[in-house]
Amino acid sequence: MKTVIIDYGSGNVESVFNALLLVKNKNHEITISNNPAEIKSANSLILPGVGAFADCINGLKSVSGLAEEVRKQVITEKKPFLGICVGMQVLASIGYEDGEHKGLSFISGKVEKIIASENLKVPHMGWNELIIKEVKHPVLQNIKTGDHVYFANSYFFRCQNQNNELAHAEYGSQISAIIAKDNIFGVQFHPEKSAEVGLTLLKNFLNWRP
């Protein structure tokens, strides 16, 4: 088995890589690559992301054939896919950070800014509680409402179909924390910074066979 962390210049790939090394079994290969041939040979894919929505989309498109191969492997070949933070947000149809930008449209929805107020600082930074819907998803095994995970976001994913939202966090309003559709799974928080809960989720993802 091989999982490829997609390196496109906008992700904290090393910290995700190191977290995966802690939970993988000895026969599971973890690699970091932006080579479309490596993407094609993977059994599963992870897209980390930090920074702005448009930068992440442009980073994917800047490597010849990368965005096209990712789409083929995720949408056509149905390989397990995990998007992290902005790597989750770019799954949307459109994002409104610094203008209007088309996303990958893997899960219908839009990415909007969290509205700051006197009592609500933006970005949403630090630990927050997961509120999980009554869904039995394999990647959520041994993860429950009340578990705390680490967020760092100024924007949030608003799903067009609420059935795609598996969990949220409260931050002024409900912020999508976990989304999923078929072989695609996304988390707004950083599992690699979320202690045992994050490591549990990463291990579950490596073992997921949708």
Q: Which residues are catalytic?
A: 85, 190, 192
Residue 22: which residues within 8 A CB-CB, separation 6 or more? 199
- In contact, 187 and 124? CB cutoff 8 Å: no
DSSP secondary structure letters along 89-138: HTTSSEE-TTS-EE---SS-EEEEEPPPBTTB-SSEEEEEE-EE-S---G
What span, in angstroms and rounded, lies between the C-alpha atoms of 52 and 56? Answer: 6
What span, in angstroms and rounded, lies between the C-alpha atoms of 198 and 187? Answer: 10
